Amino acid sequence: MSFPVPQRLVRAFALLLALTSLAAAQAGEGRRPIGIPEIDSLPLHDWGTPTKPLSMPLALGLATVFPGGGQFYGGHPVRGSFLVGLETTLLGLALYTYKVDLPRRDRITREYLDDASAAYARYVADPSNTNAAAEFRSKTAAARSNASLRLQYADLANSQLAWAIGLHVYGIADAIEIVNRSHNPPETERSATKAFWYGLAFPGGGQLYNGRYGKFGMLWMTLGASAVSAVSRQNVVEHLSRSVAAARIEGASNLEELEQDRQIFRRRRNQYYFGAGLFYIYAIMDGMVDAALSDFDGPSRYAFGPGVEPFSLVATVSF
């Protein structure tokens, strides 16, 4: 069965091949040939490596003081802009909660407690004052509910601050990798077996072995922020457990709502535990892949070319 091929498509494909060959002739120098013309003719665009060696002290200083400073200095404005936008947003939200939301919740809780104390004093003075007793119970419940809401606000702010700090640490680690690559382009072949054992013994060990400091910082950003978030969620769960116990004793009407909130925060806490474990496993596999691909241009590992049958292709991977 044959299919007609449009002439425009053939011409476009021929033009693309011509442009590719021209680019290969101009930019393909410096590549280690592997014996496969289809791959050897591909242009070499090493845009990830700066054209001149960078200063480590300057990069570290900029990355430490300014979010994304090391990335802008190293010629990676996209990563730098990402760090500036996300890190400043998370930090701003956390600071707003700490400075505005939490003091307001504390003030409201104190007002509820003052009202409850005044109602209790009236009830003690006149035990027949049922309105004072009812007001005492309602104000106490309102104070407890507002305290729980305050803890949830603090929990979110803790997570935001942890992720902002983690992003900053990642930016510093990534800046170190950028500078190292500007001085020593990665050419050393590495062992996937060693990367596996290093990654298994220490989180991010495979990334350090491969010289991927940016990935190492990203992993520890995730693990550290997840740990802080999980601990913060656990504090909310414990507070809600105490509130549930008190609501059962008092016969409060919001018992079911408190139990639902406790279940939600338990689930969120567990999600951080599971996420940290998955990232740890992913880091081990990522280190192995980076090490295995360190000799990607080696002629004895990968081959792709025509097969023995007409119009067939054969891919070979040697381990």
Model confidence at 180, pLDDT cuts 50, 70, 90, reads confident
50 vs 292, higher pLDDT:
292
Contact 69, 80 (CB under 8 A): yes
Residue 195 has pLDDT above 60, yes or no: yes
* pLDDT digits 0-9 by tens, 16-48: 444 444 444 443 444 455 555 555 555 544 445
Q: Quote the pLDDT of residue 47.
A: 43
Res. 84 pLDDT band, cuts 50 70 90: very high
3-state helix, strand, coil in the chain (%, to 5): 75, 5, 20
One-letter amino acid at 177 equals E
Could you give the CA distance from residue 35 to residue 310 in angstroms, rounded to a whole number?
22
Identify the H or E element spanning 233: helix 213-250
pLDDT the model gives residue 13: 47
Nearest CA to 184 out of 208, 211, 214 is that of 211
DSSP class per residue in 27-96: H-TT----S-HHHHTS----TTS-SSPPPHHHHHHHHHHSTTHHHHHTT-HHHHHHHHHHHHHHHHHHHH
Separation between Cα atoms, residue 204 and residue 194, nearest integer Å: 13
Sign of the C-alpha dihedral computed for residues 242, 243, 244 and 249 taken in this order: positive
What's the predicted TM-score (pTM) here? 0.67
Q: Taking the domains of the chain in order of start, what are their residue ranges? A: 17-46, 56-302
Q: What are phi and psi of 303, to 5 degrees?
A: -150, 145
Task: Answer whether 59's CB lies under 8 Å from 179's CB.
Answer: yes
What is the rounded CA–CA span in Å between residue 185 and residue 47? 12
Task: Please give the pLDDT value at position 87.
Answer: 92
Start-to-end CA distance of the chain, whole Å, equals 39
pLDDT in tens, 262-284: 888 888 888 888 888 888 888 88
Q: Which tens digits make up the pLDDT trace of 89-104?
A: 999 999 999 999 999 9
Q: What percent of the chain has pLDDT over 70?
A: 74
Averaged pLDDT, 284-296: 79
Cα 156-225-79 angle, rounded to 5 deg: 105
| Residue 222 banded pLDDT, cuts 50, 70, 90 | confident
259's CB contacts (< 8 A; 6+ apart) are: 244
CA 15, CA 189: separation in Å to the nearest integer? 37
Beta bridge partner(s), residue 317: 302
